[in-house]
């Protein structure tokens, strides 16, 4: 099955739709953000199914049904990632 490639903007990573804290971009987590051009969904905000793989080189995230091309990251999530990196470097 060919998966559609969908652009996602203002994206961040969460563990589930219930828990709204940020998570690291890795398999098992979920993307949330604004999508455009999805074949089965209207343009707008979404929570994806669980992430299967991440291809940072091509900025692609694969879920069960789609491939998401990462656009601009959510500012709050970018700040959270920076804080996480800063904490790891200090440890």
Could you list the beta-strand ranges (E) of the chain.
5-14, 30-36, 44-47, 51-55, 60-63, 67-70
Residues 6+ apart with CB under 8 A from 9: 33, 34, 35, 36, 71, 72
Domain residue spans of the chain = 5-90
Q: In the structure, what pLDDT confidence band is assigned to residue 7 with cuts at 50, 70 and 90?
A: very high
List, for residues 49-89, the tens digit of each pLDDT value: 999 999 999 999 999 989 999 999 999 999 999 999 888 88
Query: Which of 53, 56, 46 has its CA nearest to residue 12?
Result: 46
* Model confidence, pTM: 0.86
């Amino acid at each position: 099955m060919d998966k559609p490639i969908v652009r996602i903007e203002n994206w961040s990573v969460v563990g589930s739709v219930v828990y709204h804290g940020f998570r690291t971009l890795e398999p098992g987590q979920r993307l949330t953000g604004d999508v455009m051009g999805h074949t089965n969904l209207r343009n707008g905000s979404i929570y994806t199914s669980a992430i299967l793989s991440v291809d940072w080189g091509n900025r692609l995230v694969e879920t069960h049904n789609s491939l998401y091309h990462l656009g601009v990251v959510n500012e709050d999530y970018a700040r959270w990632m920076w804080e996480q990196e800063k904490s790891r470097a200090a440890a």
